[in-house]
Structure 1
Amino acid sequence: MLEKLGPEKLRRHCDPHIFSFSSTEEIEPLSGIIGQERALEALRLGLSLKAPKSRHNVYVAGEPGLGKTSAVTQFLEEISQNQPVPPDICYVHNFLTPHMPRYLLLPPGKGRELKEDMDRFLEFLERELPRVMESEEMRARARRERELLEARREALFRELEAKARSLGFAVQRTPFGINTIPLKPDGSPYSHEEFQALPEEEKSAILRKQTELQDLVRETFQRLGELEESWQAQQKKLTQEAVRFLIEPRLSQLQAKYAGIPRVSEFLNAVLQDIVANAENLVAGKAKPQLPIPLPEPDRFLRYRVNLLVDRSGMKGAPVVVEENASYINLFGTIERRVQFGIVTTDFTQIRPGALHRANGGYLVLSALNVLRFPLSWDALKIALKSGEIRVEDPAQMLGYASTEGLRPEPIPLQVKVILIGPLWLYYLLYFYDEDFRKLFTIRADFDTEMPWTEEAAWAIARFIRARSLENPG
């Protein structure tokens, strides 16, 4: 026989006698998650699967209001504590291909050390380089080389003059070259009228000798050019030797400090070679004429600096990054630009990181609905996961539109687990209509809306209340 139930029978009552406390202040707060063992097991499985590229990512499905994001973040922060801290990420100038800055990966904290080491080295260089280049010893050596050059030039001219006199000519040096003047038997020059009055045969003989002399003049000028080139090469060699003697000990110390990181060693070696090759320009940039309108002075040592993109100093465990606004720039970073007097410029120090850079080596948590509001972000994220690389690109280039020629930073190796959080219906929509999603998000963790009513569950809820009261004491 059917019995009508009253309202008091349609709700479950918790028997307070199962609790041995009078206030939640007396119990330990809950550090875990209530009633989502199955979801956590699936999440743990997805995070444990390793692949050469980030293939086994996780979609966390469930109704709104279940606390999925906070639960997943708490779980990730707990498991990440026992995992290694990923490397620092830096960008430096590429001396071979300037528009493609090179990345450096260094042990945690070493990126900041390298940046500070290079800043100190450049302060030393800015202070000491002019002193060495303008030293009395360098000037004396330059004077000696210049005097030697002038002596050799004079010897060549005297040789030319002797050959010219043997041919019956005098040579006259002018700012525009050398004039050849025919001489009479007594050694005095012919006037124009006297030369024209000569018999044709004699004039022809003089002109033939003049042609021969012109060949000697050209040969002399060629030898003078070779002397000048040799002098310039010698001056450059002296400068390079002095600069190398100045900076090599400093850079050798850094080479020893970062010996286990090949890319840093390559960078330091390139810095040494570039400074030695461009020392005169680095010093010359110091003294410039005053302009009516003062312009900001460019950093002459910019290409030797280090752009520290991600600093892991003091970090414990793998990073857990929650990105609530998954725009393209927020995910992949950007290359900022400067505008000075209408001119747009940029360089490797203007590269800025995105959430993928910060999460590299760890975990990135995204809202599925949010990331899909940015189609460019979604497509670029799938490309990054498939290729195993983070590329910092202009969004216009990503879309295939023409853009101004700029930097194309070297892609950084990517090793990350992406956790997408969203409703179940969206998972099925993506699963059936997006082939890349099927391949990249191979694990689904379902958050339940129900849990068994047990005494253990009641205690867990009490401890959960205690934990929340500690988080929000007001």
Structure 2
Amino acid sequence: MRELKPEDLRWRCEPKHIKATSKEFKVIGQDRAVQALKVGLDIDAPGYNIYVAGPVGTGRKTVTKKLLKDTKRAKRIPDDKCYVNNFTNPDTPILMYIPSGQGRIFQKDMDNLIDYFIERIPAAFESPGYIEKRKEMIDGFKKKEQKILDVFQKKVKEAGFAIVQVQVGPFAKPELFPVIDGNPVNFNQIGQLIEEGKLKLEDKERLEKVYKDLSEEMEETFRKTREIEKEAGEKLKELDTSLIKPLIERRVDELKNRYKDERIHSYLADVKNNLLETIDLFKKKDKVKEIAEDIHAPYRVNLIVDNSETKEGPVIYETSPTYRNLFGTIERTMVQPGQWRSDYTMIKTGSLVAADGGFLILDARDVLLEPRVWPALKRALKNKRVEVQTFDPFYLMTTSGLKPEPIDIDVKVILIGEAYLYYLLHRYDEDFRKIFKVRADFDYVMDVSSDAINEYACLINRICEEEKTLTATASAIGRIVEFGMRAAGRKKKLITRFDLVADILREANFWAEKDKAKHIDVVHVNKAIEGR
């Protein structure tokens, strides 16, 4: 044992040891954590997501974000993604992947396509040649129908019957009445006429037989007229199609030539067929403008990920990882009280899809506390896909029947949290061990050395520059370094909780400005330390 001198009880950082020359960002005292992060960020294999552990203030988030910029993923710009209508099965919207920047162009092209048809198709239906041809066809079918009716009516008249329209509720129904003394008589009145002696019983039997034969013939006649009407409708539809089909095909084919993707070609073929099936919507020019939005609706492109302005791979830090924010939802609108409506244009994706091809940073504690988020996140990372669903726990009876195509994702998730959460998850959650294979530990202390002291000084100078505070003297920096050792609790260690260092510097700047000093000096740092 030896006697300690007063100066042995407190380490001092002499100003002459301060040789800070750089104000650039540098990771301080976290070599092991940085190495683990670099390994995890560069390995593109299943399960190599990263858990960043360590105390608050050690630079976990700052260092992680900085390192992400130098990775391969940060240099890759992912495809745009959009949902379009599934005309065969509207409850299963179709997902499309389009090269970056072309999603917005495709969305605009589809809007322009329908605007073009809204303008041109009604004009085609008002052309004199079409109107004349349509009138000629209608007149021909009317004559054919009238000829059949005339033959039947003549036969009815010769048999002593008449066709009378009988009101049945809100509808009128044709019925056969025998003509007696020049007037049609309902069969219900035949019995009374027999009692009055105006008819004989055998006359009733004869009329009933004629009525039965004529009724069967009337049904056959009306069946023939219905067939003529059906044929007329089909022929008129063919006329409309022959008029409009070349216009639609030419414009849709022009759009096809701009895109090479086979799914887009298939979708545009469905668009063409659906336009031809719903061509009646375009017939009345004066009403088309009024229902323009309804015409547009089935052909809208729901652009869920737009990378047209993106210059580098996505790096998203989700500060509020609710189920809706992470995985998206299917919105709905109220049609009337108690009745809701959803369609593919109401599909909204979350940050997990937005981060596809890049990185998603999450706070571990927040993820674990949010309802349903942790199981859904594990499922998405294991399957590498996201299924957008309605999530509204307070309105269980209003869920949507839509089931959009799942979205394939390739995202690296970085969880930031305390070390004890890592140990709990690693011990009790088997999936966690498979999904988060990399752990980066940020220490709260580092060894004292001349390099470490100068790194401290560089950090302080950088904070002064970024926050536009007064500059700190070498003596003030030395005093802050001494505070870092005291906070570490050991003579050969410095604290790496740089949030504490920054707070001391800010508070020292406050006292310096209050004293109207030109620089932050030791006295100001001491006041800041004493005030804590």
**TM-score after normalising by structure 2:** 0.75
Say if 1:444 and 1:190 are closer, same or farther in 2 by CA, change over 3 A.
closer
Q: Structure 2: which amino acid aligns with 1:177?
A: P
Query: Does the 8 A contact of 1:324 with 1:367 survive in 2?
Result: yes
Instruction: Percent identity, please.
Output: 32
Q: How many Å apart are 1:392 and its aligned residue?
A: 2.0
The CA deviation string for residues 410-433 of structure 1, in whole angstroms up to 9 with x for no partner, is: 221121111001111110011112
- 1:293 corresponds in structure 2 to none
Query: Does the 8 A contact of 2:390 with 2:399 survive in 1?
Result: no
Larger deviation, residues 221-230 vs 338-347: 338-347
Counterpart pick for 2:411 among 411, 416, 421: 416
How far apart, CA to CA, are the structure 1 residues paired with 2:302 and 2:313? Answer: 22
How far apart, CA to CA, are the structure 2 residues paired with 1:284 and 1:385? Answer: 52
Say if 1:82 and 1:387 are closer, same or farther in 2 by CA, change over 3 A.
closer
RMSD between aligned alpha carbons? 3.4
Please list every run of 5 or more consecutive structure 1 residues that lacks an aligned counterpart in the other structure.
291-295
- 1:141 corresponds in structure 2 to 133
1:103 aligns with 2:95: yes
Say if 1:376 and 1:285 are closer, same or farther in 2 by CA, change over 3 A.
farther
1:358 aligns with 2:381: no
Please list every run of 5 or more consecutive structure 2 residues that lacks an aligned counterpart in the other structure.
166-172, 470-532
How far apart, CA to CA, are the structure 1 residues paired with 2:115 and 2:204? Answer: 70
- 1:231 corresponds in structure 2 to 232
Say if 1:171 and 1:14 are closer, same or farther in 2 by CA, change over 3 A.
farther
- 1:388 corresponds in structure 2 to 384
1:74 aligns with 2:69: no
- 2:44 corresponds in structure 1 to 50
Say if 1:143 and 1:365 are closer, same or farther in 2 by CA, change over 3 A.
same
Larger deviation, residues 435-444 vs 452-461: 452-461
Q: How does 1:193-232 map to 2 (within 5 A)?
A: 200=202, 208=209, 210-232=211-233
Query: Does the 8 A contact of 2:118 with 2:292 survive in 1?
Result: no
Q: Structure 2: which amino acid aligns with 1:98?
A: P
**Greater Rg by CA:** 2
Q: How does 1:149-160 map to 2 (within 5 A)?
A: 149-160=141-152
SS in 2 for 1:445: strand
- 2:516 corresponds in structure 1 to none
Counterpart pick for 1:132 among 120, 124, 127: 124
How far apart, CA to CA, are the structure 1 residues paired with 2:75 and 2:330? Answer: 31
How far apart, CA to CA, are the structure 2 residues paired with 1:364 and 1:419? Answer: 6
Say if 1:46 and 1:190 are closer, same or farther in 2 by CA, change over 3 A.
closer
1:337 aligns with 2:315: no
Q: How many Å apart are 1:3 and its aligned residue?
A: 2.7
How far apart, CA to CA, are the structure 1 residues paired with 2:453 and 2:315? Answer: 31
How far apart, CA to CA, are the structure 2 residues paired with 1:120 and 1:394? Answer: 31
SS in 2 for 1:39: helix
Q: Structure 2: which amino acid aligns with 1:269?
A: A
Q: Structure 1: which amino acid aligns with 2:56?
A: P
Query: Does the 8 A contact of 1:32 with 1:75 survive in 2?
Result: no
Say if 1:93 and 1:32 are closer, same or farther in 2 by CA, change over 3 A.
farther
Query: Does the 8 A contact of 1:80 with 1:317 survive in 2?
Result: no
Counterpart pick for 1:319 among 314, 322, 337: 314
Larger deviation, residues 388-397 vs 67-76: 388-397
The CA deviation string for residues 380-434 of structure 1, in whole angstroms up to 9 with x for no partner, is: 111211222212222247x995544443322211211110011111100111122
- 2:2 corresponds in structure 1 to 2
Q: How many Å apart are 1:366 and its aligned residue?
A: 0.5
Q: How many Å apart are 1:310 and its aligned residue?
A: 1.4
Count of matched residue positions in the alignment of Structure 1 and Structure 2:
452
Q: How many Å apart are 1:455 and its aligned residue?
A: 4.5
Q: How many Å apart are 1:297 and its aligned residue?
A: 8.9
- 2:104 corresponds in structure 1 to 112
The CA deviation string for residues 229-265 of structure 1, in whole angstroms up to 9 with x for no partner, is: 0001112222233332222222112211122x23222
Q: How many Å apart are 1:276 and its aligned residue?
A: 1.1
Q: Structure 2: which amino acid aligns with 1:416?
A: V
Query: Does the 8 A contact of 1:182 with 1:206 survive in 2?
Result: no
- 2:30 corresponds in structure 1 to 36
SS in 2 for 1:118: helix
Larger RCO (alpha carbons 8 Å, 6+ apart): 1
The CA deviation string for residues 417-464 of structure 1, in whole angstroms up to 9 with x for no partner, is: 110011111100111122221221111111123334444444544444
SS in 1 for 2:78: coil
The CA deviation string for residues 86-109 of structure 1, in whole angstroms up to 9 with x for no partner, is: 111212222222223222211111
How far apart, CA to CA, are the structure 1 residues paired with 2:201 and 2:25? Answer: 119
**TM-score after normalising by structure 1:** 0.83
Query: Does the 8 A contact of 2:331 with 2:390 survive in 1?
Result: no
Say if 1:432 and 1:286 are closer, same or farther in 2 by CA, change over 3 A.
farther
How far apart, CA to CA, are the structure 1 residues paired with 2:250 and 2:361? Answer: 47
How far apart, CA to CA, are the structure 2 residues paired with 1:452 and 1:285? Answer: 81
Counterpart pick for 2:159 among 169, 175, 180: 169
SS in 2 for 1:139: helix
Counterpart pick for 1:450 among 432, 445, 455: 445
Say if 1:74 and 1:286 are closer, same or farther in 2 by CA, change over 3 A.
farther
1:267 aligns with 2:267: yes
Q: How many Å apart are 1:327 and its aligned residue?
A: 1.2
Query: Does the 8 A contact of 2:390 with 2:400 survive in 1?
Result: no
Q: How does 1:275-290 map to 2 (within 5 A)?
A: 275-281=275-281, 283=283, 287=287
